[in-house]
Structure 1
Amino acid sequence: MAQENSSTITELVLVGFSNHPQIEIPLFFLFSGVYLVNLFGNTAIIILVVIDSCLQTPMYFFLCNLAFLNIFYTTAVVPKMLFNLLASKKVISYELCLAQTYISLLMGAAECIILAIMALDRYVAICYPLRYLLIMNWSVCVQLSVGAWTISFFASVVPLYFTMLPLCGPYIVDHIFCEVPVLLHMVCADTSLQETMMVIGASGTLLLPFLLITLSYLHILVAVMRMHSAEGRKKAFSVCSSHLTVVTIYYGTGMFMYMRPKSLYSAEGDKLISLFYAVINPTLNPLIYSLRNKEVTGNLKRLLERWRVSRIQRILS
């Protein structure tokens, strides 16, 4: 399995939850259900926005970006995790391990920026309602989306590619999937530069978007407090609450994982943290946005009713 340098590694041991074999089968069924809910929920949001013209607005365009990201992120992580929960030989190929590392870093950075863009979109909608469609036109939305993915790639994947160091044996990844903070413990050389770059990168893709989100919501709060209509204030808070819930969950776990020194690493604790932002949070996103959004649930009910009526008509004809 392990040779003298990373170029000759064929596979690594992926520990996962093998330290607790008695819970592996229950976890397999639990995470299988979570993954299916993730796929269904996020795919449903994308399909609903595509086919329903009422939802083809900037907010739901960015929500589709987030839904796609959630599907891609968990698909890079969960299937292998599920396979290893049942396998007697719990390994991961070196190529897949690297792929998971790059994907987790890219998707994490992209989610931070997209969440910031969604906060900016809410700010424009609430503070400049009459100019909203003029400011957030489709050209601007597409540019913001492309910019988010491009910046994420060059701020995360490119620096990691050029600073990746050889790994040392034993080649054991005591985690549920491969990501940067975990692999730093397996590097042969001094990792001070890599740790510094990870903190700098996290500052750019975590803190700056978080600062933009904070400023956006401060302006939103001021604008809402100035509203004379109680119904208007209630609607504004309802629209923003879903986004704030997602931001709180994601940033809380992401900042702890990527913005701390290596000395604070805890294998068991970090597995739970990673489960939240890589598996649980992407599954909660569509539930939070749909269950707390009357516009989404209302349009979904109407589409299901139309589908039911058309199906009955086909049967009768």
Structure 2
Amino acid sequence: MPPLRVGTNVWPGYEPLYLARSMGLYRDQDIHLVELHSATDVLHLFRNGELDAAALTLDEALTLLQDQYDLRVILVMDVSAGGDMLLARSGISALPQLRGKTIGVEHTGVGAILLDGALAAAGLTLDDINLQRLTVDQHHQAFLQGQVDAVVTFDPVATYLIQEGARKLFDSSRIPGRIVDVLVVRKEVIEPNQAVLEKLLHGYFQAVQFLKATPQEAVSRMQGRLGLSEKAILQSYQGMKLPSLQENRYYLTGAPSPLQTRARELADLMLKNELLDHPLRFSQLTDPRFLPRKIP
């Protein structure tokens, strides 16, 4: 049987998967981690059948459901608590000053959620700004070249821009619980890969435990992939919550599960922002069966 192909873009919240690999917890013949530049690339490969599983924001998972992909959420990886942010040029010091300015944002639910919160806090609407759609791998260059006055982004790009003088005006700590990253799996690959999925999640939680117990050693392993200093990586984890095994059981269990309820609320917001074409109908979204019973 070929290895399970798991795709991610570069984001500290997904890094425990790669940490588990570096700890020798995944065998190449069982699990193949596919590293991509952006969430847009991850979605593209998933749609093309080149990935069996993917680390995505919940809104990205909903776009796949809209396109008739049958999938299950088997893990809540992180909940943003400041890690997603709106950064502006040094001459812009307050949110109301964004009126008439050009703001770069990825065409995703996360971008819409963060921008919606920032504009509401500023007393502005989309009609008051110029919106420029950018994938995350374009954020850094577009900001430095003056193509945008502000950008909705996240680490590692956010750290680079702040180091180069960008000013943080708003972040996801002001909209708690609204931005969630999950691991999704195609329904058709679940049954033949149950043992591998259990190994995948077991290794993930062991890596999270290692990160919390020995953060300096853990982040030293992450530096090469993330391209950030140890200090910057540790700071990025202060902007998110990595749900525990017990919290994952809470999120994923029930009919409907708490995560499925949150997904319905998010789908309504996305429909309002024209990120979905039609209302979604899904009876089962989460599957907690592969969560380990305990972490050694």
Q: Whose helix proportion is higher, 1 or 2?
A: 1
Q: Normalization by structure 1: what TM-score?
A: 0.28
